[in-house]
Amino acid sequence: MSNKYDYNQQMNVLYNHHELIDVPKIVEECTDKWFNQTLTKVNDSVVRIGIVEGEYHWHKHDNDDEFFFVLSGKLFIELKDKTIELNPNEGTTIGKGVMHKPIAPVKTVMLMVETAEIDPIGDEK
């Protein structure tokens, strides 16, 4: 995984099946501006928490769809032809191969569902 961006991306599975996932504790302990942590694995997919503020880079995932669901804050996902605005309790799926750029104007907590093999940094342009 590339490390040329200042993102804290933890791909290890933090919780096994049948364990309580304590999202408020994770949010409270987070000091990074752009943080991803894999929470659990569900079949061939993972559920990740993102605690973010600021801009990510333009990227795409050639072989994987990516689902975003905002718990708190606000997330804009820029696409080439439009911008999707997500508020708490709203989500969207970005299809594989679609260039996108997430932007969080305020501290935002979101869940992402994607394949376990996905590199959150994205595939080369």
Q: Which CATH architecture has domain 8-115?
A: Sandwich (2.60)
Please write the tens of the pLDDT for every residue from 16-60.
999 999 999 999 999 999 999 999 999 999 999 999 999 999 999
Q: What is the mean pLDDT of residues 116-122?
A: 84
- State how far the alpha carbon of 119 is from the alpha carbons of 27, 73, 81, 86, 106, in Å: 22, 24, 24, 22, 24
pLDDT number for residue 14: 96
The pTM score is 0.91
Matching residue, tokens 């990074």: 32
Over residues 62-99, the pLDDT tens digits come to 999 999 999 999 999 999 999 999 999 999 999 999 99
pLDDT reported for residue 122: 82
